[in-house]
C-alpha cells in the first residue's frame, strides 16, 4: 500500500477503505509522508467528499492517533460540550458549573482563541492564578472530587488532527464538512466523554453562514457519534449578533459570574440553558428539555451553580475573591464610548466584524501565539431590534491605548446598522439535531 494510490483513488471519486484511512493517518502521525502528498489527499477529499462511513473511520483513526483520555475511574455518565466558535460566547463558563452542580461530571478540554472566536482557556486564564495546564492525573483527581474540570488540550491529544489542520489552514481545504466534522469529533472522542452536546453556530459570526450548511454539519456529527459509540445532540444557534453583551476575556468572565448570580440573562443564558438541558438529557437526568432548563435555573436561584464555579476556581488555583470583587480581574487602561450616529432601530450586526473589532482592542489573536490583553474588549449596550437615540452609547471599548480604542471603534461602527424602521429579530435557536431515537 502507498499513499499515491490512495490519493488517485479519492481523486477518481472512489470510496476509501478503512485500511486506506488507517494507513494514511498512521503515516501522518509518524511524519512518514511529505506535506505535499498529505495536502494532495486533503484537496481530493475537499473536492470529492467522504461518505458517513469514511468520515467515521477518519474520526476514529485521528482520535486514536494519540492518547484517549481515560475517564473510567470517574463514576457516572460524563458529558462534554463543544461550540464551533462565535463572538461573546461564554456558555461554557455558565453551563459547566450548573451541570456539574447537579452531580453530572463535566471534564472539558478547551482551546485558545484564534481569529474573532474567543477561547475558553484564554477567558479562564484572565482569572489571577487559574491553571489550565493540568496533567491527566490531576484532572482525574479533580473530577473525582468536584465533578468539574476545565483544562487545556494536551499535546498528546489527536496529534494527527493537529498536523492536518495546520495543512488545511494553508491549502484552502478548511471548508470541507467531512474534514470539519472529523476534526471536531476526533478531539471529543479522545477527550473521553460518554455524551457530547454540540453548539453549531450559524450566521454572520459563525463558521456556517447558512442554516442548510449548519444542518448538514450537525447531522454528520450526530450520525458520527453513533458510529463511534458516543451520544451526540447538536443545537444550531444564531450568530447574527454576539451571544452575550460582553466581548473579551475579563469581560466575559464578569458576565458569566453575573448570570450565575441571577443578576443578568438574555441570549447567553438561554443558549447555556438549552445546551445544559441537552447535557442532562443525554445523562438521563431529566426527561425533557423544559425539565432540564428548570433544574438549571434552580441551581442559579439556590446559588449552587455559583458555588460550583467557586469550587473550580479554588481547585485550579484561581482567586475566588473575583466572584465578589471583579475589579481584581485585569482591566485595560483606556476606555472609549461609541455613540449612535443617528436615531432609529438596530437592525443588523456584522458579528464577524464585531469580533474583528474586539481583536483590534487586544482581546483576540491575529496570529497563533500572540499575547492577549486580558483586560481589553467591548461592552455592547444595544441588541438587535432595540430603539436607539442619536448620541446614545452603542458600546464601550477597553484597550491598552487610545489609538487601539479608536481603531477598534471604527471597525465596530461599520458593523452596526441603524435603520428608521425596525426589522424582525432572527430566532436564537434555529434547529435541534438529535439521533432518531430521541426525535
**369 secondary structure, DSSP code:** T
Alpha carbon 428 to its chain's center: 16
* Residue 168 appears among annotated catalytic residues: yes
Question: 38 vs 35, 171, 172, 435, CA distance in Å?
Answer: 5, 10, 13, 33
* Residue 213 appears among annotated catalytic residues: no
> Which is the catalytic residue, given 10, 64, 82, 382?
82
> Which is the catalytic residue, given 80, 89, 122, 161?
161
**309 secondary structure, DSSP code:** H
**316 secondary structure, DSSP code:** T
**List of residues 6+ apart from 19 with CB closer than 8 A:** 1
* Residue 72 appears among annotated catalytic residues: no
> Which is the catalytic residue, given 64, 108, 168, 250?
168
- Three cell numbers, residue 419: 435603520
Q: Where does residue 158 fall: left (phi above 0), alpha (psi -120 to 50 degrees), or beta otherwise?
A: left
DSSP-assigned beta bridge partners for residue 110: 152
Spatial distance between the Cα atoms of 147 and 107, rounded to a whole number of angstroms? 7
> Which is the catalytic residue, given 183, 186, 258, 399?
183
DSSP-assigned beta bridge partners for residue 398: 335, 377
Give the length of the chain.
439
Helical packing angle, 289-301 and 304-315, nearest 10°: 70
User: 139 with 149: CB under 8 angstroms?
Assistant: yes
Longest dimension (CA), the chain: 69
The catalytic residues are 82, 161, 168, 183, 187
Amino acid at each position: 500500500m502507498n499513499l499515491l494510490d490512495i490519493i488517485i483513488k479519492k481523486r477518481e471519486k472512489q470510496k476509501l477503505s478503512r485500511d486506506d484511512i488507517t494507513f494514511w493517518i498512521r503515516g501522518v502521525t509518524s511524519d512518514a509522508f511529505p506535506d505535499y502528498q498529505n495536502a494532495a489527499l486533503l484537496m481530493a477529499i475537499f473536492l470529492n467528499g467522504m461518505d458517513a462511513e469514511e468520515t467515521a473511520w477518519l474520526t476514529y483513526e485521528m482520535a486514536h492517533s494519540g492518547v484517549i483520555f481515560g475517564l473510567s475511574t470517574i463514576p457516572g455518565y460524563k458529558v462534554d460540550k463543544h461550540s464551533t466558535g462565535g463572538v461573546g460566547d461564554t456558555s461554557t463558563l455558565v453551563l459547566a458549573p450548573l451541570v456539574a452542580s447537579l452531580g453530572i461530571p463535566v471534564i472539558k478540554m478547551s482551546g485558545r482563541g484564534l481569529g474573532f472566536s474567543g477561547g475558553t482557556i484564554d477567558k479562564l486564564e484572565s482569572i489571577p492564578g487559574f491553571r489550565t495546564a493540568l496533567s491527566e492525573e490531576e484532572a482525574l483527581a479533580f473530577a473525582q472530587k468536584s465533578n468539574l474540570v476545565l483544562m487545556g488540550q494536551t499535546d498528546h491529544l489527536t496529534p494527527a488532527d493537529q498536523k492536518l489542520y495546520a495543512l488545511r489552514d494553508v491549502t484552502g481545504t478548511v471548508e470541507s464538512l467531512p474534514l470539519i466534522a472529523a476534526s471536531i469529533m476526533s478531539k471529543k472522542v479522545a477527550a473521553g466523554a460518554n455524551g457530547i452536546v454540540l453548539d453549531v453556530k450559524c450566521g454572520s459570526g459563525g463558521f456556517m453562514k447558512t442554516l442548510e450548511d449548519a444542518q448538514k454539519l450537525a447531522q454528520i456529527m450526530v450520525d458520527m457519534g453513533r458510529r463511534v459509540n458516543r451520544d451526540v445532540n447538536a443545537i444550531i444557534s444564531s450568530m447574527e449578533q454576539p451571544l452575550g453583551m460582553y466581548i473579551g476575556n475579563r469581560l466575559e468572565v464578569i458576565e458569566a459570574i453575573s448570570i450565575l448570580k441571577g443578576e443578568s440573562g438574555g441570549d447567553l443564558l438561554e443558549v447555556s440553558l438549552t445546551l445544559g438541558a441537552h447535557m442532562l438529557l443525554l445523562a438521563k437526568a431529566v426527561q425533557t428539555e423544559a425539565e432540564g432548563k428548570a433544574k438549571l435555573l434552580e441551581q442559579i436561584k439556590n446559588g449552587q451553580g455559583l458555588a460550583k464555579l467557586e469550587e473550580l476556581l479554588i481547585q485550579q488555583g484561581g482567586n475566588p475573591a473575583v466572584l465578589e470583587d471583579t475589579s481584581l480581574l485585569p482591566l485595560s487602561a483606556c476606555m472609549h464610548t461609541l455613540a449612535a450616529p443617528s436615531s432609529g432601530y438596530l437592525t443588523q450586526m456584522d458579528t464577524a466584524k464585531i469580533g474583528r473589532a474586539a481583536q483590534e482592542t487586544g482581546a483576540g489573536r491575529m496570529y497563533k501565539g500572540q499575547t492577549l490583553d486580558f483586560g481589553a474588549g467591548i461592552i455592547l449596550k444595544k441588541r438587535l431590534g432595540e430603539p436607539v437615540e442619536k448620541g446614545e452609547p452603542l458600546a464601550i471599548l477597553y484597550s491598552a491605548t487610545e489609538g487601539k480604542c479608536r481603531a477598534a471603534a471604527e471597525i465596530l461602527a461599520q458593523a452596526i446598522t441603524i435603520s428608521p424602521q425596525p426589522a424582525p429579530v432572527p430566532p436564537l435557536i434555529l434547529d435541534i439535531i438529535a439521533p432518531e431515537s430521541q426525535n
